[in-house]
Structure 1
């Protein structure tokens, strides 16, 4: 699936959860995603995509997960925690004030990028200002990269499609906690993505300034 019409002023790259805990050696979740990240080429591909996107004039949006409370009180009184929330209570991924909760120096925000309010679970639109900010910038097409392929990437992409955005996925710029997660993401992608491109294919259709 392809779509070559990407206008710089109508397109946004959404980088989902570019935290040290995911993307830096020593991060709490780095070893968990590393096998599929190595297989997909996540890190090398992001190193191609992100600079090329900025050079093209396409806007970069950072879509971050909620920072864990250092004292572990994030979900006090909550009735319905999902599996990731339950597991995360112990190791406090993306802990506020920690190195792991900082953005990766290469893949995180740069001057001129838009940093969205934090999402609590998987969908970057749920209880955040992502839709509002995209509309304010005149964005019609969103391109998704980052983590995790079968959770935050998929949930954000599905919702974007539902509310009228054109959705592009770059599967070799994502990773998951296991191969099954990557397979699930691949199976589900055609149901909501308007375009599914490799890094090489996407770089060819980026607008030129």
Structure 2
């Protein structure tokens, strides 16, 4: 449950990694993500939250992962396992379809597109904190991918910087139910101020009640 209202001028929606490789049929990671994404109706909920945020006047900050380019990580001392996987399969490759925005979640006029993050936190080595402060933001709502990596790292970093953090448990997904459980039942409660469903969030966003949630979820 949400026990407070979100002030539009102080709230930001963080839309993390809305790439074709994650969210579109044929994307490099979609088949692995599909079971959990289908179960939680990920795409429908992402559409509903982004539409409601824009309708209410909440600014959307698109928080993208580094788009892979030839040579990335080749001369690094200690790339992490995810970066090694990206290096191998060329996830989110710049200039390729997989590294383009899912058409339903491409940045819109008024959105703020943040510098690409190299690892899992949308704050590390980017301008996200600076941009949020310049827009007077105190509350962030994190949606997108993946629940137990970039969403968790971005949300935890936001808390450390003093932001109020909301996680939306069915507007994200992960590669397994166990990862979702860890993100929302074990780790999330240690840093997030609210962990809610899409319906609970829509109930407190101004004008969100008129937002359509139709679609097949895929």
> Above 0.5 in TM-score?
yes
Cα pair 2:12 2:59 within 8 Å, conserved: yes
* Structure-1 residue corresponding to 2:128: 130
Cα pair 1:149 1:182 within 8 Å, conserved: yes
For 1:42 and 1:194, locate their aligned partners in 2 and report how far apart those are by CA, in whole Å. Answer: 22
Summarize the Cα distance change of 1:128–1:3 in structure 2 as closer, same or farther, 3 Å threshold.
farther
* Structure-2 residue corresponding to 1:196: 195
RMSD of aligned Cα (Å):
1.1
Matches within 5 A, 1:70-85: 71=70, 73-85=71-83
* Structure-2 residue corresponding to 1:180: 178
Give the TM-score of the pair, scaled to structure 1. Answer: 0.96
Q: Which residues of structure 1 form unaligned runs of 5+?
A: none
Give the TM-score of the pair, scaled to structure 2. Answer: 0.92
CA drift at 1:118:
0.2
CA drift at 1:207:
2.7
Say if 2:128 is the partner of 1:146: no
Equivalent in 105, 108, 117 of residue 106 of structure 2? 108
* SS of corresponding position for 2:154: helix
For 1:88 and 1:74, locate their aligned partners in 2 and report how far apart those are by CA, in whole Å. Answer: 9
The Cα offsets for residues 121-162 of structure 1, whole Å up to 9 and x where unpaired, read as 100000000000000000000000000000000000001001
For 2:3 and 2:84, locate their aligned partners in 1 and report how far apart those are by CA, in whole Å. Answer: 39
Moved over 4 A (4+): none
For 2:130 and 2:146, locate their aligned partners in 1 and report how far apart those are by CA, in whole Å. Answer: 23
Cα pair 2:52 2:207 within 8 Å, conserved: no
Q: Which residues of structure 2 form unaligned runs of 5+?
A: 209-218
For 1:3 and 1:130, locate their aligned partners in 2 and report how far apart those are by CA, in whole Å. Answer: 27
For 1:138 and 1:75, locate their aligned partners in 2 and report how far apart those are by CA, in whole Å. Answer: 35
* SS of corresponding position for 2:43: helix
Equivalent in 113, 117, 120 of residue 119 of structure 1? 117
For 1:163 and 1:90, locate their aligned partners in 2 and report how far apart those are by CA, in whole Å. Answer: 33
CA drift at 1:3:
3.5
* Structure-1 residue corresponding to 2:157: 159
* Structure-2 residue corresponding to 1:9: 9
CA drift at 1:208:
4.1
For 2:53 and 2:146, locate their aligned partners in 1 and report how far apart those are by CA, in whole Å. Answer: 21
* SS of corresponding position for 1:80: coil
Cα pair 1:7 1:207 within 8 Å, conserved: no
CA drift at 1:108:
2.3
CA drift at 1:197:
1.1
